[in-house]
Amino acid sequence: MKALLLKNGRILDPATGDLADADIRVEGGKIAAMGSVLPRSGSEVIDLGGRLVLPGLIDLHVHLREPGFEWKETIATGTRAAARGGFTTVACMPNTRPVADSPEVIRRIRETADREGSVRVLPIGAITRGERGRELTDMAALKEAGAVAVSDDGVGVHDSRVMRDAMRMAASLGLPLVAHCEDDSLAAGGSVHDGDFAARHGLKGIPGEAESVHVARDILLAEATGVHYHVCHISDANSVRLVREAKRRGLKVTAEVTPHHLLLCEEDIPGPDPDYKMNPPLRSRRDRAALIEGLKDGTIDVIATDHAPHTPEEKGVGMDRAPFGIVGLETAFPLLYTHLVLTGELSLGRLADLLTRRPARLFGLPWGGLTVGSDADLTVIDLEEERIIDPEAFLSKGRNTPFAGWRVKGWPVLTLVAGRAVWDGLGLEPR
């Protein structure tokens, strides 16, 4: 494979937020050199024209739907969407059919990803068999097959004894336990946040306590077991407060937040539109403010998309009956850059850290930085490119997004995984 020279990039170090004008030389899938002016000899050259260069983005929470729901998404289409969004590594949730609760399914996902995927795929195994919340999976076997964490995402684990035993097992294996926090006795039958929008449209609401009571219980269990406890798609102000307090006490408790919970609240829902239906739901303005504050003070560790594709037919049955979830891989960076960085809520370095170095550290992954000798996973972003979000142009099979028609800046234009171009929006076709 011929060497590749990326010239005239602006390289951002997510650890410090520092920007430096530099070239990057890629050989054999690795970063061979970085410097202000590298020689062109023996290299295929791409002039980046001052565009931003980041370590490849990492998403710890996506739904690739395969096996079992290939009409919604496949590993091939989902990872193409990830590459277009600048992601080089994604962790996929186990609520497939069959559920990823056995080593066979974990290996099947990995083999399909190796064969058909555009980016790295890290499977997450289930906590309980069939995600039914009763019998623990063989977590050691799941880890041996390649699972990087365990989760029953999509449903909460209701039995406290089962959750405690799961945490003990995960802790003994060094696996993060990634929790979907939802108490069915409070949430069942709800489709939106239990607030003004629900009351105005006659919909059953899901209160914030449906999430935070599980977070509170789980933090106590995490303290008792010593597990790395990670809260999925945190949405409620009380949950943020609980995680903040747990961190102050030195517990290994972490949390993620989605772009849609950061940018939208229930007041932004224009009407009973299922593309605004996600779980957890868009909450109050106060909750949204608490999430942003949690990002700023380090309570919330990473941003994850919770990319959840559904077909138009599935979504087109009304807000009370449609499935939960929206897509997010292809729009995450420009949405966050436009509405958090350009508005002054976050620095560009902080946003990059939340999408690269921090998720890598959270799961103990060897990516998330740009250093000589590391895998050449990198994302080039044109911060000046401004476009309107058009779901019909998505590479994902899913079109379900509340952000259709939004004008945003900062689009990924080149994504490399181990030196291989998996998204080339520059039209340069370097390989």
- Residue list for the binding site: 61, 63-65, 95, 153, 180, 233, 279, 306, 310, 324-325
Q: How far apart are CA 268 and CA 391, in angstroms?
A: 19
Scanning the structure block, which residue is given the tokens 């994504």? Answer: 415
Query: Are 34 and 24 within 8 A, CB to CB?
Result: yes
**SS3 (DSSP) at 53:** strand
Annotated binding site for Zn(2+), which residues?
Answer: 61, 63, 153, 180, 233, 306
Q: How far apart are CA 375 and CA 373, in angstroms?
A: 7
C-alpha distances in Å from residue 137, one per residue of 149, 159, 254: 12, 15, 23
Q: How far apart are CA 376 and CA 32, in angstroms?
A: 9
Scanning the structure block, which residue is given the tokens 């940018």? Answer: 263
* Residues in the chain, overall count: 431
Annotated binding site for substrate, which residues?
Answer: 63-65, 95, 279, 310, 324-325
C-alpha distances in Å from residue 341, one per residue of 53, 91, 346, 408, 410: 16, 25, 5, 12, 10
Query: Are 237 and 286 within 8 A, CB to CB?
Result: yes
Question: What does the DSSP 8-state code read for residue 339?
Answer: I
Q: How far apart are CA 198 and CA 206, in angstroms?
A: 9
Helix axes 75-84, 103-116, angle to 10 degrees: 60
Query: Are 214 and 181 within 8 A, CB to CB?
Result: yes
Q: Which of 365, 366, 375 is nearest to 148 (CA)?
A: 365
Q: Which of 275, 283, 281 is nearest to 326 (CA)?
A: 275
The residues with which 387 forms a beta bridge, in sequence order, are 408
Buried-exposed string 331-369: b where 16+ CB fall within 10 A, e elsewhere = bbbbbbbbbbbeeebbebbbbbbbbbbbbbbbbebebbb
Query: Are 106 and 147 within 8 A, CB to CB?
Result: yes
User: What is the set of active-site residues?
Assistant: 306
**SS3 (DSSP) at 75:** helix
C-alpha distances in Å from residue 45, one per residue of 10, 23, 26, 42: 16, 10, 10, 9
